[in-house]
Chains A and B, each alone.
Chain A
């Protein structure tokens, strides 16, 4: 607020330069026609000034005359003193008038404010109209009213019942300057927006109605014709104080005690105005750049591209490169650099924290319920439901999931604030970038020593810089506090989570003090289990158990009968034709005389398909060792191809022994103990084929026919083998089926052969090939 009395060249210059930023009402003094009271004093003011200079001159004359005519000093002195006396009197009179005016105007102002608050602001507030935000229109007008009242009372106190010669007005202002500045700063800061808000409201019919209603209640005072003039009153008032004080000071004789105080008060009030201005300017600057970045569409951006902007941007790029290559720029602000670095580190920290803590939370939420669940399952399996239901069943299922609580609190105390904080970073970041651009501009102008431009650039840069430095410090401090708070909360929450989890687990079962190690107990149990016969029978291991033989059933001693060996088999094969060869499906015990015992899978050659009694169900067979009778139902035709199958199965079985415990020996221990000399493999092979034979007898006779035919199938779909035992098939590939079941009798998997490879394939992938 440049007062008219101080026409510095500089000020004129600034006025011109600040035109883009200027809002006329604030930056330029407006004397409204309605302010009649003050205006009348203007000529008085001038006359006062004139008089003052006159009295200066007369004083100077006096001194000169004194020097020149010391003799005539007394008389002139007398006249001068008289004049002085007049002077002083006139000044005091003027002073009294001004003071009166000051008080009067303050009173009027206060009245207007009161009216405004009573008739406009409060009714509007009480009405609570939607979309009519009274605060944005009038911000802190109540506080303005208050301070004005205070000022008035102070002024009155200083002037009533006090000698004019003792009245000290300056002190009043000095007293009140602090709160005055703060309150008016706020009001002025918001006045701008208030004005645009008002304009937007005026556009809406309904709101306009409300507003005009209030205005009417002001009873048409000449200077309160509309809302705008009402809102601007405080602004006008605060600009008036320097003027008034200046006038007052000018009409105060230097001998008056108030003189010095007035000087100070005047300076203070001027200072207030300057600050308010500066604040406004900074805000404008910031807004200008923020708006640029946010609200531009591509079209806007393109339309802004003109020679000027392009040259500006290219200059900046060059300067930026210059700095990068040559090092330091001429203009540096270490404080800013420090703050900016801090700012960046904080941003990175907050960003990482949000990400990592969220993912940790996710994992906690996954892990805890799973742990509880598996614990419950294990409890179920290890306890007999009937017995100890009451004591144990309640706690785990009813235990509140500790992670839910944790999650909710974490969200509230840590993640939400940190995310909110994170979202606040981009704004300042943009401004920092702008400041850097301004810095580059300024640098370039400095280097080229272009005075005017550099001046503007300098001021822009400095304004932004000052703003940023000041506010970044606040920002960084607050951000750091939030971050630390959140980290502390996080740790506390973790601790609480652990407490809860511990409690949950403790309630489930009283933790026993186990002396013996768990593995001992379990191994013992496992051994007991594995000594059960069905396990032994069917287990894959041939290792004889050293322990707990007492549990085993008494081994049935076998009559020492020589078993069939390979040589015998080959002898049979060579002696007899294929049709005569049969294989024992299962172990046959000799029951009648001339019967022979057969083991599963043993090869026999049928000599006669009937017995002495003529029954065809009992056949005479040759085992290579002995001849005798066997029931035909125990025999099945021997298929040389099956031998290969068996061998193939042996290959698989070798693996199977390790991974899948398929039963191998059909009888406990006997086969392995008194096994065929071929070793376990052929024993296993015989039993395997025997098993298959068994499973085949479960089916119909058609099955055996199928086996004999070895039907050819083809793969309806392609099949991908998932293990060594399986065979990959291509679509429509022909396959040879060797067996229509797998080793455990599962009819869904068939043993197939393709190009020399053997493996299991799913039966439903295969289709029968019909020959034309």
Chain B
């Protein structure tokens, strides 16, 4: 049967593209949520009456708030960058697929027609070569020709162009990937700087974790030893 070789459809690519688009959206949404919740921490602290009573505390919280707000701003910028260089291109790339699918379908239809008419021709060819049969055969062949040409044209086109399309993804997405990495790296290094500065600025710079933990425990036991604290 003609055209029996199936075209390797890169349907995985379409699925990949769609999934990637969704995941990137989810990721950027999660990033934004995270920085929003971080800002909330410092906002709540600022609005606390403790700030009026305790100057040191107020200073600390103000510094924290500044840092959080900057984190939010940078995060927003990062998301915008990702939106522009990754998500939008993904969408555009994905918009090619319907056309591709349609072309494949049409080739399929052409194939069906082709096969049908071919079968007809063969049927007549097998019959006795009588006058009417010959006439019919001739007509069938005439019918067949344009259809076959059509199919073959479509087939060739797809065979030629689909791999090219498929390969184009490499060139297309490489810049996106690099941009994503760069955006993340820039963001994280900025954040590192911001929080490093903040750590320096706050009290007790360079206090190791175990020491903090021990001190907390000591304070907590001190509190528990007080008689006014419920000893459940």
Contacts and interface: CB of A to CB of B under 8 A. Distances in A.
Interface of A: 282-283, 286, 290, 294, 341-342, 344-346, 348-349, 352-353, 356-357, 359-360, 362-364, 366-367, 370-371, 373-375, 377-384, 409, 412-413, 417, 420-421, 424, 426-428, 430-431, 467-468, 471-472, 474-475, 478-482, 484-489, 491-492, 494-495, 498-499, 501-502, 505-506, 508-509, 511-512, 514, 518-519, 521-522, 525-526, 528-530, 532-535, 537-539, 587-589, 591-592, 613-615, 617-618, 631, 633-634, 660-663, 694-695, 697-698, 744-745
B162 to A, nearest CB: 8
Contact of B38 (A360, A384, A481, A613): A360
B126 interface: no
Contacts of A356: 37, 40-41, 44
B195 A471 contact: no
B99 A508 contact: no
B197 to A, nearest CB: 9
B227 A485 contact: no
Given A488-B204, A615-B135, A474 B226 contact: yes
Contact of A424 (B168, B172, B178, B229): B229
A363 B53 CA distance: 32
B127 interface: no
Contacts of A362: 37
A428 B168 contact: no
A475 B226 CA distance: 8
B142 A592 contact: yes
A505 to B, nearest CB: 5
B185 A506 contact: yes
A375 B179 CA distance: 11
A533 B157 contact: yes
Contact of A495 (B17, B109, B196, B217): B196
B195 A491 contact: yes
Contacts of B180: 374-375, 378
A364, A538, A660 — most chain B CB neighbours (10 Å): A538
Interface in B99-117: 99-100, 102-103, 105-106, 109, 112-113, 116
Contacts of B109: 694-695, 698, 745
Nearest to B92: A526
Interface of B: 13, 16-17, 19-20, 23-24, 26-27, 30-31, 33-34, 37-38, 40-41, 44-45, 48-50, 53-54, 57, 60, 64, 67, 84-86, 89, 92-93, 95-96, 98-100, 102-103, 105-106, 109, 112-113, 116, 132, 135-136, 139, 142-143, 145-146, 157-158, 161-162, 164-165, 168-182, 184-185, 188-189, 191-192, 195-196, 198-199, 202-204, 207, 209, 212-213, 215-217, 219-220, 222-224, 226-232
Given A363-B30, A367-B34, A538-B99, A290 B230 contact: yes
Contacts of B176: 378, 382, 518, 522
A692 to B, nearest CB: 11
Contacts of B195: 491-492, 494-495, 498
A489 B220 contact: no
B98 A661 contact: yes
Given A501-B188, A505-B185, A745-B109, A431 B228 contact: yes
A46 B146 CA distance: 143
Contacts of A381: 13, 16-17, 20, 169, 173
Nearest to A611: B139
A294 B232 CA distance: 10
A424 B158 CA distance: 73
A478 B189 CA distance: 35
Contacts of B92: 522, 526
Contacts of A294: 230, 232
Contacts of B37: 356, 359-360, 362-363
Contacts of A521: 171-172, 175
Contacts of B223: 421, 424, 474-475, 478-479
Given A378-B173, A694-B109, A529 B96 contact: yes
17 contacts: A341-B49, A342-B53, A353-B41, A362-B37, A363-B30, A375-B180, A381-B13, A413-B212, A482-B220, A492-B195, A505-B181, A521-B171, A521-B172, A534-B158, A535-B103, A617-B139, A663-B102
A343 B230 CA distance: 16
A591 B198 CA distance: 84
Which of B85, B96, B212, B228 has the most chain A CB atoms closer than 10 A to its own CB?
Answer: B228
Most buried by B among A286, A375, A492, A631: A492
A471 B174 contact: no
A373 B23 contact: yes
A480 B215 CA distance: 12
Nearest to A383: B170
Contacts of A495: 192, 195-196, 198-199
Contact of A532 (B161, B212, B224): B161
Given A375-B180, A529-B93, 12 more contacts: A353-B45, A360-B34, A360-B40, A413-B212, A424-B229, A428-B228, A479-B223, A488-B202, A495-B195, A519-B89, A589-B146, A661-B102
A282 B227 CA distance: 9
Nearest to B211: A485
Contacts of A363: 30, 33-34, 37
B132 to A, nearest CB: 8
A348 B57 CA distance: 14
Contacts of B213: 412-413, 417
Given A353-B41, A366-B34, A518-B176, A498 B188 contact: yes
B157 A534 contact: yes
Contacts of A472: 228
A420 to B, nearest CB: 6
Given A367-B27, A478-B223, A662-B102, A379 B177 contact: yes
Contacts of A352: 44-45, 48
A525 B166 CA distance: 12
Given A427-B229, A499-B192, A487 B60 contact: yes
Contacts of B57: 480, 484
A451 B23 CA distance: 77
Nearest to B98: A661
B99 A534 contact: yes
A409 B213 CA distance: 11
B41 A283 contact: no
A383 B54 CA distance: 56
Contacts of B64: 487, 491
B216 A378 contact: no
Nearest to A428: B228
A4 B142 CA distance: 138
Contacts of A530: 96
Nearest to B149: A589
B95 to A, nearest CB: 7
A691 B10 CA distance: 25
A481 B219 contact: yes
Contacts of A508: 181
Question: Which 5 pairs of residues, A with B, have the shortest CB-CB distance?
Answer: A427-B230, A382-B173, A495-B195, A502-B188, A367-B30
Nearest to A478: B219
Contacts of A488: 199, 202-204, 207, 212
Given A374-B23, A467-B227, A498-B191, A481 B215 contact: yes
B143 A367 contact: no
Contact of A474 (B165, B222, B232): B222
Contacts of A592: 142
A481 B168 CA distance: 60
A237 to B, nearest CB: 25
Contacts of A481: 215, 219
A489 B64 CA distance: 12
Contacts of A511: 178, 181-182, 185
B216 A286 contact: no
A377 B23 contact: yes
Contacts of A417: 213, 216-217, 220
B176 to A, nearest CB: 6
